[in-house]
Structure 1
Amino acid sequence: MPRVTTKGQVTIPKAIREALGIEPGDEVEFKQTESGYELRKEKPTTAEGQDPFEKYRGSADSDETMPERMRRLRGEYPRDIGSDSDDDVDSGAEV
């Protein structure tokens, strides 16, 4: 049975963490019920109580396909395909 530390901390047993989907850094809530308290996993919030991901919603709207977007983000886009240039081919000559 878990014990409360002098700092008021307790380890949530692994089976309960897994059942609730609780991971390190998650926020939990203790809700009073008629029979005691419930432990609930909460959605992430900022210090002001707002959704921290809200500012990013819609920021990925684009006409690009996902492969096109990934090539652009990796610096591979636009890519020359079928180039006749041999500049990138190692001729084996010593310099």
Structure 2
Amino acid sequence: MRVTSKGQVTIPQNVRESMGILPAETEIEFLQDDNGRWYIAKAQPDTQQTSRFRSAHKAGKLMMSTDEIMALTRGESWPSS
């Protein structure tokens, strides 16, 4: 497996599927055992933080002003109309 100049590698699809790794949703961590070997593991759910943009669609209304949308994406509350 080749490492890019940015230090990135592609996790093969079969590995992602078997580990339940989803693009842009799953955090992984690198773990080292006592023998110095490195492993990747899916981060525990309590260490993951849902993006405010991913959760904003649940609170969005069909007819929202630009200010209301911007407040929602910033995690701010807005006065209800």
- Structure 1 runs not aligned, ≥5 long: 47-51, 53-95
Q: 1:45, CA displacement in angstroms?
A: 2.1
Query: Cα offset for 1:29?
Result: 0.4
Q: Percent identity?
A: 43
Q: Would you identify which runs of 4 or more consecutive aligned residues in structure 1 move more than 6 Å?
A: none
The alignment's TM-score, normalised by the length of structure 1, stands at 0.44
Distance apart, 1:38 and its partner CA: 1.1
Give unmatched runs, 5+ long, in structure 2. 51-81
Equivalent residues, number: 46
- In terms of fraction of residues, the more helix-rich structure is 2
Deviation at 1:35, TM superposition (A): 5.0
In the aligned structure 1, how far is the partner of 2:15 from the partner of 2:5? 23
Structure of higher RCO (CA pairs closer than 8 Å, 6+ residues apart)? 2
Bigger Cα Rg = 1
Q: Deviations over 1:35-67 (max 9, x none)?
A: 511110112523xxxxx5xxxxxxxxxxxxxxx
What TM-score, normalized to structure 2? 0.50
Instruction: Report 1:1-95 matches (<5 A).
Output: 2-25=1-24, 26-33=26-33, 34-42=35-43, 43=45, 45-46=48-49, 52=50
RMSD: 1.6
